[in-house]
Amino acid sequence: MDCRVKKYLVKTVYLLAYYLGFINVLFVIKKRPIVITYHNIVEDELYDSHPHLSVTQKASVFERQLSIIKAKLPIGSDLEAGEALITFDDGHKNNLYVALPILQAQEVSATFFIPASYFENQGMLWVDRMLMWFTCVPSGTYNIQGKITKIATDTDRVEAFEDVWASLLENYAEKDRLLAELEMQYSFESLDITDRYRLQRFEPLCPEEIALLVEAGCRVACHSYTHEILSRLSDQELDEDFRRCERYVDLYNSDWYGYPFGRPVEVDHRVISRCEASIFDKAFMNIKQRGRGDFDIARINMPATDDKILIYAELSGFSTMLRNLRSTFT
């Protein structure tokens, strides 16, 4: 089926579900908190003038989303049934300088999951370096992991990154070698990216900036040490990652934990069990369906849209229900 036809049919189903009241019924019977996760909110001008590989929204869309969510649900600061909780992952500078003013203007609180290594000023996360490379490298042909990779369109960039990600899941020990290979193919410092966009989208918060989030009344919680794929660490490496996080517990104002990446492939039962044995009280994944307890709490990644019906379909769980139904019959 043509992609445009499929989108039209899905949107038609959403419209019917909304105007027939089915989506509203799902909101009424949903007896748990609705946890929403964001990553990067960038100024409209920068968003419109730069490519985006993943997890980035423009400021005006984020502002409208908050208004739409508030019109349907109270937005709280804890895990209360029937309320929405806004969370952010990764702790880039845009969280403080772009997202926070919008949150404050809307009188909304949020939780920010931030890697503990930021308290040591260690610089850009390895995964952000990788994302920046695939997002901003000039169009061309590159030899990546012995494979000739053509990068010309946005789809090419997404597919090239997904290929690399799949290989990392198979052999995580290759991570540093892969980053070195990307540097050889095209230098990170030569990427076509403005200083302003690089600073806002990819650069991490420093300790003084994290303290400003705390002073603003935000919940600041742990997001691992350096955002590794925890499921691919050895038991010893996993223990060390959690121990390093625990050294900075006094600099956070929360005992919550957000798993990096947050899908089952990156957060297996071994990781969850290790988190349960740590000082952390609750832990959050990036899965839409409810887990088994306080250490695999589901979150919704909001789509980059200000369409009210699409947003309500995500928040109510209708979109997940529809996807599960489609997969059953395909």
pLDDT, tens digit, for every residue of 149-183?
999 999 999 999 999 999 999 999 999 999 999 99
Does 329 have pLDDT greater than 80? no
CB 242 within 8 A of CB 275: yes
User: C-alpha distances in angstroms, 157 versus 29, 104, 164, 222, 289?
Assistant: 41, 35, 11, 30, 29
Give pLDDT, residue 17: 94
User: Sign of the C-alpha dihedral, residues 97, 103, 107, 113?
Assistant: negative
Let me know whether 88 and 147 are in one domain.
no
CATH number where 249 lies? 3.20.20.370
Owner of token pair 């804890």: 78
Residue 262 counted as domain residue: yes
- Do 216 and 111 lie in one domain? The reply is yes
Triad 243, 119, 135: Cα angle to 5°: 100
Say whether both 110 and 227 belong to one domain: yes
Average predicted confidence (pLDDT) for the chain:
93
Q: Are residues 96 and 135 in the same domain?
A: no
Number of domains in the chain: 2
Asked if residue 215 is part of any domain, the answer here is yes
Residue 303 lies in a domain: no
Q: What is the pLDDT of residue 291?
A: 65
Q: Return d(Cα 101, Cα 213) in angstroms, integer.
A: 11
Residue 184 and residue 36 in one domain: no
Strand partners, 86: 36
Is residue 271 assigned to a domain? yes
Same domain, 68 and 142: no
The pTM of this model reads 0.94
Same domain, 36 and 105: yes
pLDDT at 290 over 90: no
Condensed to tens digits (0 to 9), the pLDDT of residues 239-255 reads 999 999 999 999 999 99
Tokens of 297: 């709490």
* Lowest-confidence segment of 113-117, 157-161, 281-285, 320-324 by average pLDDT: 320-324
For residue 10, what pLDDT band results from cuts at 50, 70 and 90? confident
165 with 41, same domain: the answer is no
Give me the mean pLDDT over the 123-137 stretch: 95
**Which residue has 């000739």 as its token pair?**
148
65 shares its domain with 111: yes
Asked if the structure places residue 3 within a domain, the reply is: no
The tokens of 259 are what? 């798993």
**231 Cβ neighbours under 8 A, 6+ residues apart:** 265, 266, 267, 268, 270, 271
Q: Does residue 330 surpass a pLDDT of 70? A: no
Q: Identify the domain containing residue 154 by its residue range.
A: 126-196
For strands 147-151 and 140-144, give the pairing: antiparallel
Q: Domain boundary residue among 164, 196, 228?
A: 196
Same domain? For 154 and 136 the reply is yes
Domain shared by 111 and 212, yes or no: yes
Task: Report helix, strand or coil for 301.
Answer: strand
Do residues 87 and 37 touch, judged by C-beta distance below 8 A? yes
Residue 289 above 80 pLDDT?
no
Cβ atoms of 54 and 160 within 8 Å: the answer is no
| Residue 153 located in a structural domain | yes
Whether the predicted pLDDT of 138 surpasses 70:
yes
Q: What is the pLDDT of residue 8?
A: 78
Which helix (DSSP H) or strand (DSSP E) does residue 212 occupy? helix 207-215
Which pLDDT score is estimated for 61? 97
Alpha-carbon distance of 308 to 248, in angstroms, equals 40
Query: Which of 174, 196, 218 marks a domain boundary?
Result: 196
pLDDT at 269: 95
Please check the confidence at residue 208 and state whether its pLDDT lies above 60. Answer: yes
Tens-digit pLDDT profile for residues 93-116: 999 999 999 999 999 999 999 999
Best CA proximity match to 100, nearest among 244, 15, 200, 216: 216
The length of the chain, given as a count of residues:
330
Statement to judge: residues 152 and 289 lie in one domain: no
Q: What is the pLDDT of residues 18-38, one digit of tens each?
A: 999 999 999 988 778 999 999
In which element (H, E) is residue 29 found? helix 22-29
Residue 20 maps to a domain: no
Say what percent of the chain tops pLDDT 70.
Answer: 96
* Residue 288: per-residue pLDDT: 73
Last residue of a domain, one of 162, 196, 230: 196
* pLDDT reported for residue 7: 76
How far is Cα 82 from Cα 75, in angstroms, rounded to an integer? Answer: 9
Report yes or no on 12 lying in a domain: no
Residue 215 confidence (pLDDT): 96
Q: Contact at 8 Å (CB) between 191 and 131?
A: no
Predicted pLDDT of residue 6 = 73
Give the model's pLDDT for residue 306: 93
